[in-house]
Every structure is written in C-alpha cells, then in structure tokens.
Amino acid sequence: MTATTYQPGEISGLIEIQAAKCKGCDACKKFCPTGAIEGASGAAHRVDHDKCVGCGQCMINCPFDAIEETHSALETVIKKLADKNTTVVGIIAPAVRVAVGEEFGLPRGELVTKKLYGAMNQAGFKIFDCNFAADLTIMEEGSEFIHRLHANVQGDKDAGALPQFTSCCPAWVRYLETKYPSLLPNLSTAKSPQQMAGTVAKTYGAKVYNMAPEQIFTVSVMPCTAKKVEASRPEFNDAWSYHKEHGRHADSYQDVDAVLTTREMSQLLKLLNIDLATADEFDGDSLFAEYTGAGTIFGATGGVMEAAVRTAHKVLTGEEMARLELEPVRGLQGVKDAEITLFDKHLGQNVTVKVAVVHDMGNNVEPLLNDIMAGTSDYHFIEVMNCAGGCVNGGGQPIDRSGSSWVGNI
C-alpha cells in the first residue's frame, strides 16, 4: 500500500505537463502554491500529484501552452442536454459572469449575468445561480462563526476553534488537509457554495422542479479547475443519502455531476452555435436565480469576509451596517485585515472582531498558520483563497495568450 493524498473515486492527476511542449522555463513554478512542480531548468517538468491542489495557476501562466487538464465533462454535458428525460441544472459561479464575455469579444470584466442566463437557457440549462448558494453559505458559515465566537467568549468547554477559516476554496481546503491537518478544526464545516448548490438542487430542487432527483443532472460552471476534484470527493453524495433515508432507492450519485470551467462553457456555447454577446437576456426560471450583492462578491478576494461581516453585524447588533462596503478587505495586498467593534446584544457587551483575508495563498498564508499553531494569532475569522485576486483569476478562467505570458512576481 502506498500513501496517497486522494480518497478512492476522486479525480487525481488533474493537471499534467506535456513533456513534448515543456521548455523547462520554470514559469509554472513561480505560480505553484505548493511546490508541486519538479524538474530542472531547461528539462521537461512534471507535477507531483500528491502535492498538487489542482488550482491550475501553472496552466494559465504557462507561456508555451504546455499544461493541460486531464478531465473534461464537455461531451457528457452535451449528451445530457440532448436527453429529454434529464433536467440539466447549470450552477453559475460568481466570477464566471465577469469573465466569460471575454471569450465572445466583449471587454474584459464586463458583467454579463443575464446574457449568460439567456445563452445557457437556449442551450437547455435550468438556471441555478451559485450566488444563491453563496448567500446560503453566509447563513450557515456566518451562524457557525457567531456560535464559535459566543462559545469562546463564554468559555464553553467544547467551543469550536478560533480563528475560523472559510472553506469555499477547494485548493485551500486540500492544502490544509495535506499539509496542516492539525488546523482542520479551524476550518468552517460549511460546504462550499458549489456543493451546497448541488445538494439543494437535488433535494429541495427536486420539489421546485417537480422532478425525480435521479433525473436531475447538475453541472457547475466554475472559474476553477480544483472544483472538479472537489465535486468528485466521495462524501459529496448527500442528496442521494437524504433520499435513501427517506426510502428512495437508487444507485449512488454525486451532488454535482459535472464541472465545466468558464473556458469549457464558452466552448460548449460555441459548439451549439450560441453567441453569448448577442444572446437574449433571461431572468432565470426559479427562485434559484435570486441572489444578493453579498453573494456576488464571493468571486473577489475579500468578498466572502465582506459578505459575512454584513450578516454577522445584523445578527449580533440587530442593525444593518450603515455602510456596507468593507474597504480594508478589498484590493490586491497579499494579507488584509480589519477590526470591527460592535455592541453584541446577546452578550450585552462590546466585542471587537478581528478578521483577515489572504489570497495568492502560496505566497501569503504560512506566516498566519504559524501564528495560529504557536498560539499567537489574535484573529477570529480568516478568509483564504488560493488564487491571486480570488476566483476572478481562477485556473478555469479565459486565458489571454496574446503577446508575452504573465511571468513574474506579484
């Protein structure tokens, strides 16, 4: 038996370097958060899959287009869309709506939510905005944080660990699991928005759509390659378990059946001759297309924290924040932090909550983890995203290969 960092059934070896195309330029190594790329300068490189977190940063930064993904669900999804007995639910991540337009000649960063709904509706998808699930994540993860905070202030014996880490980013979760398992109690137990969306689509969604859960095929559209690995985790079949407990017998199925990157969704639309740039706008076809501004900013570094603070403030004080923007957690500084002092009506006292936000994980997170392990961290809540800038710059986003590559240090 050899040690492996993967569970049975999980996608492993997602990111591969093609030896014939690799020039050994080392560009990828600068962007790898875990030092998973091996090989001398000038020689073809290879990926150590046990260290790889699947983020795809090496791929989008390779000047020679030498790095590829070994798993694509594109053909499967096209077949499912053509199957009259299947309802295909498209789960759209926040960061997709400000990047997919680039593949259709629209300006970078253009917000195309309703056009993307329209194009995907034309392709045959039901619209499930992952921003709805992001709002749901805030309700769960925010409540969990308040629970841990209160339990710690009151000195409960089994109070959860602080600081609490966000758990939305699958590369970050895998990094902690492979490198710092002693800190797993600090990780929020809330599933990522992708996984909440898949589970809800096949449980509550089965009622909303009036469909048998086995006939629902969930396809998430993600700015991220690591989401493919996350969706394949064997424990993420909670909808199936739920229905089984309620007396429904079927072969096990995953909560999220397939993951397409932003690039792959663009390919799918092009294969179906749908031009997103000229697509009719569409508002969605169920309550799963309703989302708030807090849900949409999940796609930018600091967004999860900002959204969580907005809701925590309301829950703790009973009042909405006078100004919703939390400027200190915005922007591209590697580690950002903020202090929020508020009157906690449940404790009957003022509390000061210290939060931190980390992105470009490989370059920035270790000092914070060392502080926590040494017992010297005074943060209560920490957001960690693997990719520089957050999901907007994820490994599944459109790649601009015009001119030189994006080699260099931040």
Tell which positions 89-108 bind another protein, by CB under 8 A: 94-95, 97-99, 107-108
Nearer to another protein, 16 or 144 (CB): 144
Nearer to another protein, 81 or 128 (CB): 128
Is residue 14 within 8 A of residue 71, CB to CB? The reply is yes
Nearer to another protein, 241 or 278 (CB): 241
Hey, what's the torsion of the CAs at 259, 261, 263, 264, to 10 degrees? -10
Nearer to another protein, 76 or 292 (CB): 292
Q: What are the backbone angles phi and psi of residue 332, rounded to the nearest 5°?
A: -105, 15
> Looking at 293, 319, 352, 367, which residue binds another protein (CB under 8 A)?
293
- Give the HSE-up count for residue 147: Cα atoms under 13 Å, Cβ half-sphere: 11
> Looking at 299, 362, 395, 396, which residue binds another protein (CB under 8 A)?
299
Site string for another protein, 200-239 (x = CB under 8 A): x--xx--x---------------------------xx-xx
Pairing of strands 67-69, 258-261: unpaired
Q: Which of 28, 32, 58, 168 is catalytic?
A: 168
- Decide if 319 is catalytic: no
45 binds another protein (CB under 8 A): no
Number of residues that bind another protein (CB under 8 A): 95
Interacting residues with another protein between 374 and 393 (CB under 8 A): 388-390, 392-393
Interacting residues with another protein between 329 and 368 (CB under 8 A): 330, 332
- Decide if 230 is catalytic: yes
> Looking at 11, 127, 171, 294, which residue binds another protein (CB under 8 A)?
294
Q: What is the CA radius of gyration of the chain?
A: 21
Angstrom distance (rounded) from CA 376 to CA 163: 11
Interacting residues with another protein between 122 and 181 (CB under 8 A): 132, 134-136, 138-140, 142-144, 147, 167, 173-174, 176-179, 181
For residue 111, the one-letter residue type is: L
- Decide if 144 is catalytic: yes
Tokens 């005074």 belong to residue: 378
Hey, what's the torsion of the CAs at 230, 231, 237, 239, to 10 degrees? 120
- Decide if 339 is catalytic: no
The DSSP secondary structure of 51-87, one letter per residue, reads: T-----HHHHT-TT--EEES---HHHHHHHHH-TT-E
Calculate helix-pair angle for 193-202, 238-245, nearest 10 degrees.
Answer: 30
Catalytic residues: 141, 144, 168, 188, 227, 230, 235, 391
